[in-house]
Structure 1
């Protein structure tokens, strides 16, 4: 089963960002999706964040991904302010639920009916909208019956407050189980949001085959491996000032697993590949994930508007199969391809 309607995987309009169908649905999203995980409400001043969102709109990005837990609700507030006054029908707004916010009481986490319902209403208020296009289970909740979770999602769909349901970092088995329950309830589970990049390929073994069977697309985060695939980090050299690896507010902790000399040396071997294609290293990284037909979108962030001008040029780039093979060879010794790692992401107990 194809994850998109046959014969219409991508649509392009001149130099604008292409759009792809999300899962086995009629919803199209921009294949370059703007995400504000680490930036809004924390690393970037609100005024700059708003200007960056407006630049994304100018460049043809229509899809925006956030979560209630990002910057402890502040990311949603900033995004809501940035999108205020825009034509709602021209946007696809995504958010997520699972992690705690606020006082972090006993029911302020997970995928119970109570937490899902209360979190969605709070997110709508912060985002300044009556509905979200995609509401995502940020992780799998081992402490809540899956039937309860999807019944709560179904109720919100039937109320018109949520249009589609997605998940994040679920295993192949969890996708199968969730998809079956969603189908019984008459709602659509159409997406999964995993980490995916040239250096982190764990979803290829089990998650993507299951998703292709079920009609579920991937909306991937960290396609540039937290910036390592930009090539700016050099083995044996000091960390550049102002970079994510130098950010003590959280960026450094996320990127450190890619910062060993062996990985950084291998990444430098990608420069000739990018040069051969006439694109930059960041563009190569994004085009690489978009080469996978099960990927509907690559989530990108930006700390300033100008960064997006180069990023969006990855939309529509075609990487020949022989070049894809060459990339695989260059990174063979440093890329994580272990499908069992997909079972280690969701916590066995709520935070």
Structure 2
């Protein structure tokens, strides 16, 4: 698998990353071990997680699986902090105390003394930026993290932190953002800002939370994410009728190449301008195997343009 440089840093990551949103909850430890083993065998390096993934169990699962396989030196660990699950649901908290406590807990769960990448998960308008930056500076200077990133930030907030972070011993290495044929909000200000500040781009949910696989065209499969209480709300935004034309176009393109709709959707994001790594979210080894089949496949220019137009 191709390794790509992350922005203006010296860090390189695989063109596809392994997302772990479901690990420890919907993906058990045995499947997780197989997923990581297969991903590494395909040349993958980037593992993306967060403190709250899998109801807080994903990081522990990753740490255990890495230990079992003995592959800590072969992976780039990226985790996120700042989104906290509370009694009233999730809340954003990028205070110094919350961030540093979360980092310590993540390192313990992952059985490691450092993260290659640590990202702020959502912009927190309630906390002074200097307080958040002070936490990042402590984490960097202590060696507990190597690079800083942000996830789901608006362009103006990305610009603010990118300008201020060098004064606190760091450089903004990456932005993680949702990007697919059903969500092209990355194109525009975020594209320009990430390029201007030399940030790498990690694209999450290239299959539009599973909708671009085409599985929801006629009904909601009982074993799908949309059929689960904890992920139904995550999928529902893309079950709107206005997306039907794009979903059908992706399916038809797949038929023409002997590929699945999901493989086509992934290929479109993987080779999109500015994208460093595209994050996969398979729940099972079988799902991962299908997606890895297009590691070296590139959509012809005419097909890319047709999908651009229809979406």
Shorter-chain TM band: over 0.9
1:89 to 73, 76, 79: 73
Q: Give the counterpart of 2:115 among 132, 135, 146.
A: 132
Structure 2 residue 205 is matched with structure 1 residue 222: yes
Matched, 1:35 2:15: no
Cα deviation digits, residues 36-72 of structure 1 (max 9, x gap): 11x1122122322222222222222211011011133
Deviation (angstroms), 1:231:
1.6
TM-score (norm. length: structure 2): 0.93
Q: Residues 175 and 200 of structure 2 are in contact (CA less than 8 Å); yes or no, is this contact kept in structure 1?
A: yes
**Corresponding residue of 2:289:** 309
Give the C-alpha shift of residue 21 in structure 1: 1.0
Q: Which runs of 5 or more residues in structure 2 are unaligned?
A: none
Query: Residue 299 in 1 paired to residue 283 in 2?
Result: no
Of 257, 276, 279 in structure 1, the residue corresponding to residue 237 of structure 2 is 257
Q: Does 1:193 align with 2:173?
A: no
Of 95-104 and 48-57, deviating more is 95-104
Between Structure 1 and Structure 2, which shows a larger proportion of strand residues?
2
Question: 1:31-70 residue pairs with structure 2 within 5 A?
Answer: 31-37=15-21, 39-70=22-53
Deviation at 1:178, TM superposition (A): 0.4
| In structure 2, distance between residues paired with 1:181 and 1:103 | 34
8 Å CA contact 2:29, 2:65 repeated in 1: no
Q: How many residues get paired?
A: 308
Aligned CA distance change for structure 1 residues 275 and 133 (closer, same or farther; 3 Å): same
Question: 1:156-176: per-residue Cα shift (whole Å, max 9, x none)?
Answer: 111111000000011111111
Q: TM-score, normalised by structure 1?
A: 0.83
Question: Which secondary structure state, in structure 2, belongs to the residue aligned with residue 286 of structure 1?
Answer: helix
Provide the rounded CA distance (Å) in 2 between the counterparts of 1:102 and 1:139: 16
Structure-to-structure mapping, 1:84-233, within 5 angstroms: 84=67, 85-101=69-85, 110-233=93-216
Question: Retained in 2: the 8 A contact 1:54–1:82?
Answer: no
Report the counterpart of residue 246 of structure 1 in structure 2.
227
Does structure 1 retain, via aligned residues, the 8 Å contact 2:155–2:190?
yes
CA shift for structure 1 position 111:
1.3
Equivalents in 2 of 1:188, 1:313: separation in Å?
A: 35
Q: Please give the alpha-carbon distance, in whole angstroms, between the structure 2 residues aligned to 1:103 and 1:162.
A: 30
Note the alpha carbon deviations across 1:184-237, whole angstroms, 9 max, x for none. 223121111111100000110211111111101211111000111112222xx3
1:13-35: CA deviation from partner (whole Å, max 9, x where unpaired): xxxx2221111111111111011
Q: 1:207 to 1:109 in 2, by over 3 A?
A: closer
Q: What CA distance in whole angstroms lies between the structure 2 residues aligned with 1:20 and 1:293?
A: 13
Following the alignment from structure 1 to structure 2, what is the Cα–Cα distance between the partners of residues 179 and 47?
Answer: 40
CA-CA distance at 1:324 after TM superposition: 1.6
- Among 270, 287, 291, which residue is 2:250 paired with? 270
Where structure 1 has 5 or more consecutive residues not aligned to the other structure, the ranges are: 1-16, 332-351
Distance 1:266 1:115 in 2: 41
